[in-house]
Structure 1
Amino acid sequence: MEFKNSQTVKNLMSSFVGESGVYQRYSYYAKRANKDGFKYIEDIFNETALNELYHAKRFMFLINKELPGEKIMVDQADYPVFYGTTLENLKSAALGEYEEAYEIYPTFANTAREEGFKEVATYFDLISDVEKFHHKRYDTLAQEVERGYFHREGDCDWICLKCGHHHKGPNPPKVCPICDHAEAYFKPICPSGN
């Protein structure tokens, strides 16, 4: 099959547009997490946004390798637009990552294989694995925020993201005793479910 007329090239373009949008959304979500007092979650959104930017770059390069400078029409694609509280943003991100990891990219990989584009299929498979990790991380963070992110039932180790101070207890200190940063800069290091 000719790449230019394949479903695979449309899937790559749709993925490029989708990942570019996710990069932007996660950048906005990071700012909201900071505003809501979740520095660690802000960092996760920024880190994941960068991951998505590189996924978009890979998809663009795969298209450009075969069709440099071409315009690709994307049809029958929808892209989520959502912005809310940090908890709502985490849930939205978890859902989007789930769809990419378990539905969209596996389908795109199979199509690429069927059309004879094995390299493209491999990239869809590899990126799908990354999206599985993103889904799990966002889902876990959403559960933690719902339970009360800065309170645990038992003792937990908390680490200051600025100076590395460790604190043990059900809550981080309101202010780091070393660097004076607020509790928003503490990350929990404790067993899941605690």
Structure 2
Amino acid sequence: MHAMQYEFTLPADYDMDIIRSRVARVAHLLDDWDGLGIKTYVLRERGVHGSPVNQYGPFYLWNTMEGMNRFLWGGAFQGPVNDFGRPETRQWTGLAFEEGTVAGSPAAFAVRRRQPVPDGVELAAFMADAASETERLAAQDGAVLAAAAVDTRAWELVHFSLWAHGTPKADGDLYQVLHLSAPGRDRLPRGRQW
């Protein structure tokens, strides 16, 4: 499993209905993308759910590098680049993935928490704890799924979870989910990735 996210931070007075309309128009294009586990079309809206910014930030879990590369270099990624500019695209190596207690439910919210991997920690224990946290999140009421991944260049851990309803039981940046493409969700490896 491989995780990826890019974000477009938009002006404070940006009409976020433009993003909603865009997603409604194009999201189906990845509903059957070979190599894709899931893509969440997510946004944060300034003043809604405590967000300080307007931001569009799709998050991906890939089953194959070929699928990700076909998305990035085969033309599909050029659409958002043309509309918003070329974003920094973060990539993380998968650590863990778990289906949630309401895995079949539509996702209403996503939570992403990024944190540094501290210097001096024992890496095996730290990553095992991250995998355990993924299990804990997925076991919460309302959880659709949970994942953890790490960027070994920046030594950054990311937890990503989807929630069906209510207040998500996870800390981090809260996003509204506009659409979920999940052509290879059933092929995402469950549990610890090592």
Q: TM-score, normalised by structure 1?
A: 0.28
Write 1 or 2 for the structure with the bigger share of strand.
Answer: 2
Indicate the structure whose relative CO is greater, using CA pairs within 8 Å and at least 6 residues apart. 2
Q: TM-score, normalised by structure 2?
A: 0.28
